[in-house]
Amino acid sequence: MPVMNMVTAVNAALRQEMRRDDRVVVLGEDVGVNGGVFRATEGLYQEFGGERVIDTPLTESGIVGAAVGMALYGLRPVPEIQFLDFIYPAFDQVVSEMAKYRYRSGGQYTCPVVLRTPYGGGVRGGHYHSQSTEAYFCHTPGLVVIVPSTPYDTKGLLTAALRGEDPVIFLEPKRLYRATKDEVPDDDYVVPIGKARTVREGSHLTLICYGAMVPVAEEAAAKAAEHDVEVEVIDLRTLVPLDVDAIIESVKKTGRVVILHEAAKTGGFGGEIAALIAERAVDSLEAPIVRVAGYDTPFPYTLEHLYMPDVARVSDAIKKVVEYH
Partner 1 sequence: MVEGVLQVMESALEARDDKKKKGKPEIDLSDDQIKEIYRAMVLTRALEERGTALQRQGRIGFYIGSWGQEAAQIGSAYALRKDDWIFSAYREAGTALLRGIPVRHLVAQCLGNADDPARGRQMPCHYTFRKANFASVSSPIGTQIIQAAGTGMAMKYRKKDSVCISYFGDGATSSNDFHSGLNFAGVFKAPVIFLCTNNQWAISLPVSKQTASESIAAKAVAYGMPGVRVDGNDVLAVYKVTRDAVERARNGEGPTLIEALTCRMGPHSTADDPTRYGGDREAECWREKDPIERLRHFMEVRNGWTKEDDEKVWEDARGEVARAVSEEERVALPPLNSLFEDVYEKVPPHLVEQRDELLRIHPPKPAKDEGDDYKFP
Interatomic CA distance for residues 153 and 313, integer angstroms: 26
**Using rule CB under 8 A, residue 241 touches partner 1:** yes
Q: Do residues 209 and 269 touch, judged by C-beta distance below 8 A?
A: no
Q: Which of residues 159-198 bind partner 1 (CB under 8 A)?
A: 164-166, 194
State the minimum distance, in angstroms, from the CB of residue 165 to partner 1: 4
**Using rule CB under 8 A, residue 2 touches partner 1:** no
Q: Which residue among 8, 11, 41, 56 contacts partner 1 (CB under 8 A)?
A: 56
Size of the site for partner 1 (CB under 8 A): 45
Q: Which is nearer to partner 1, 161 or 290 (CB)?
A: 161
CB 56: neighbour CB atoms within 10 A? 18
State the minimum distance, in angstroms, from the CB of residue 27 to partner 1: 9
Q: Which amino acid is at 56?
A: T
Tell me the residue ranges of DSSP E strands in the chain. Answer: 3-4, 24-28, 53-55, 76-80, 114-119, 144-146, 168-173, 182-183, 197-200, 205-209, 231-235, 238-240, 257-264, 290-294
State how far the alpha carbon of 116 is from the alpha carbons of 26, 28, 41, 144, 275, in Å.
10, 10, 11, 12, 28
Q: Which of residues 272-311 bind partner 1 (CB under 8 A)?
A: none
Q: Which is nearer to partner 1, 141 or 298 (CB)?
A: 141
**Using rule CB under 8 A, residue 114 touches partner 1:** no
Q: Which residues of 187-207 are buried (b: 16+ CB within 10 A; e: fewer)?
A: eeebbebbebbebbebebbbb
Concerning whether 129 is annotated as a catalytic residue, the answer is yes
**Using rule CB under 8 A, residue 244 touches partner 1:** yes
Q: Which residues pair with 58 in a beta bridge?
A: none
Q: Do residues 83 and 128 touch, judged by C-beta distance below 8 A?
A: yes
Q: Do residues 117 and 81 touch, judged by C-beta distance below 8 A?
A: yes
Q: Which residue among 44, 66, 221, 263 contacts partner 1 (CB under 8 A)?
A: 66
State the minimum distance, in angstroms, from the CB of residue 225 to partner 1: 33
Which residue in 129, 139, 204, 305 is the catalytic one?
Answer: 129
Q: Which stretch binds partner 1 (CB under 8 A): 97-105, 170-178, 181-189, 216-224?
A: 97-105
Q: Which stretch binds partner 1 (CB under 8 A): 90-98, 130-138, 196-204, 289-297?
A: 90-98
State the minimum distance, in angstroms, from the CB of residue 244 to partner 1: 7
Residue among 149, 119, 124, 116 at smallest CA distance from 134: 119
Q: Which stretch binds partner 1 (CB under 8 A): 56-64, 178-186, 205-213, 286-294?
A: 56-64
Q: Which stretch binds partner 1 (CB under 8 A): 29-37, 71-79, 213-221, 303-311?
A: 71-79
Residue among 302, 122, 138 at smallest CA distance from 215: 122
Residue 126's Cβ-side half-sphere holds a number of Cα atoms within 13 Å equal to 2
Residue 156 CA to its chain's centroid (Å): 13
**Using rule CB under 8 A, residue 69 touches partner 1:** yes
Q: Which stretch binds partner 1 (CB under 8 A): 158-166, 172-180, 181-189, 220-228?
A: 158-166
State how far the alpha carbon of 60 is from the alpha carbons of 81, 83, 213, in Å.
7, 10, 27
Q: Which of residues 202-231 bind partner 1 (CB under 8 A)?
A: none
State the minimum distance, in angstroms, from the CB of residue 105 to partner 1: 4
Interatomic CA distance for residues 149 and 141, integer angstroms: 24
Just list the catalytic residues: 129
Please give the residue ranges that form the binding site for partner 1 (CB under 8 A): 25, 51-52, 54, 56-57, 59, 61-62, 65-70, 72-75, 77, 89, 92-93, 96-97, 101-110, 141-142, 144, 164-166, 194, 241-242, 244
